[in-house]
Amino acid sequence: MSHMQLENLEVAKTQVTQIGIVVIGRNEGERLLLSLGAAKSQCQHVVYADSASTDGSVEAALGMGVTVVCLSADGLLTAARGRRAGFEQLVQDAPECRFVQFIDADCILEEEWLATASSFLDSRKEAGVVCGRRYEAFPMASLYHRLIDAEWDTPIGLAKACGGDALMRVEAVRSAGSFRADLVAGEEPELCTRLRAAGWEIWRIDAPMTEHDAKISRLREWWKRSERGGLGYAQARAATQRTGQPLYGRQIASALFWTVILPLLVAAAASLEQDWRVLLLLPALYMLQGCRIFVRRGGGTDFAFRVSAAAVMMLMKIAEAKGIFSYLVGQKKLEARAHRNGEVRVLRPTARA
C-alpha cells in the first residue's frame, strides 16, 4: 500500500471515529441483525431506538453490544420519535461525534458510505445533510419493489430534503431542534425545511448508501403504505403551513383532485345536463391519466410493468386521500397522543459484543 493510500486510510479512520449511528426499528427480526452488524463493523458509536418491538429485537440488539433506547407504546410510535430519542442518547454517550448517520433497521449500510459522506461534509462547511443512493435489495421481487426502487432514485446535487437514511452534521441537527417526534411521516423533509431556513444545505451525492428491503408483495401492504403517506402529507403540511415553505402541497392537491374534486365535477355536469352518459367521462379521464403515467415510465421498462405501475399509481391516490381525511378527522386525537411523552428507557449491554 502506498504512502498516499495509508494517509487516506488514516483520514477515513479519524472521520469514522467522529461519527455515530442511530438505527430505528420495530419488529424487524433478522433484518435488524444485519443492519446492526453492518453499523457496528464500521462505527464504534451505535444506538438502536426500538418502538415497542415484540419479536425480541431489544434482546438481540443488546446481545450485539448495542445501547438500546426503548420507546413505550403509551406515546406515538413514530420514526421521528425514534430518531429524536436515539440522537439525544448518542450525543449524550459520544459528545465527540460531529456527524450522525440515521438509518432504518430494514436497511444495511454500504461499506464506503461513511468515509465518502463525511469527507463530503468536511469539504462543504455549509452542508448540513448528505444522502446517497438507497436501493432495493430485491427490486424484481414484486411490482411494488420496482416502484420503490425507482422512488429512491432522486436527482444528484442540491436537494430540498433527504429520506430516512442520511448523514447529518450534529451541529446542524441541534441548531434546528432535531426531529419533531409527533410527525407520523415526513419528518425528514420537515427537519430539512428548518435546516434550509437556518442556512444549511441538503445534498444528494452519487454514491451507494444503503440497501433496503421493503418486503411488500401484496396490494394491501402497498395500500397501507400509501395511506400512511397521505396522513403524513397532511400532518407535515399543517406543521409547515406558517413557515413560508409548506410541504406536500402538490401531493395533497393531486390526491384530492383525482378522488374527490374530479368525481364531484363530473357528477355535477351530469346533473346539469341531465344525462347519465356524462359520467363516462370519469373512467375516461382516469384512463387518460393512466396513459400519461405509462408514457412517463419511458421505454426502458417492459410493457406489463408500465401498465401495472400506472394502475397502482392511480389506486394510490385513493389510499393517500383516505390518509389525508384520516388526519383531518382524527387531528385532535393524534395531537393529544403526541403530547403524551411516552416512557423512554435506556438499556445497555452487560458486555460488549
User: DSSP letters of 128-145?
Assistant: EEEEEEEEESSTTS-HHH
Q: What is the pTM of this model?
A: 0.88
- Give the model's pLDDT for residue 243: 79
Residues 10-35: pLDDT tens digits?
445 545 679 999 999 999 989 999 99
Please give, one letter per residue, the 3-state secondary structure of 183-240.
CCCCHHHHHHHHHHHCCCEEEEEEEEEEEECCCCCCHHHHHHHHHHHHHHHHHHHHHH
Over 60: is that where the pLDDT of 353 sits?
Answer: no
Report the pLDDT value the prediction gives residue 284, as an integer from 0 to 100: 94
Position 306 pLDDT exceeds 80: yes
Inform me whether the pLDDT recorded for 247 exceeds 50.
yes
- Residue 343 is predicted with a pLDDT of 80
What is the tens place of the pLDDT at every residue in 181-194? 888 888 999 999 99
230 Cβ neighbours under 8 A, 6+ residues apart: 252, 255, 319, 320, 321, 322, 323, 324, 326, 327
Average pLDDT over the chain reads 89
Bridge partner residues of 130 (DSSP):
167, 203
pLDDT at residue 3 in the model:
45
Q: What is the pLDDT of residue 344?
A: 85
Domains with residue ranges and CATH for the chain: 9-215 (3.90.550.10), 249-338 (no CATH)
- Tens of pLDDT, residue by residue over 322-345, are 999 999 988 767 766 666 667 889
Q: How far apart are CA 22 and CA 105, in angstroms?
A: 9
Rounded-to-integer distance, Cα 341 and Cα 333, Å: 14
What percent of the chain is predicted at pLDDT more than 90? 72
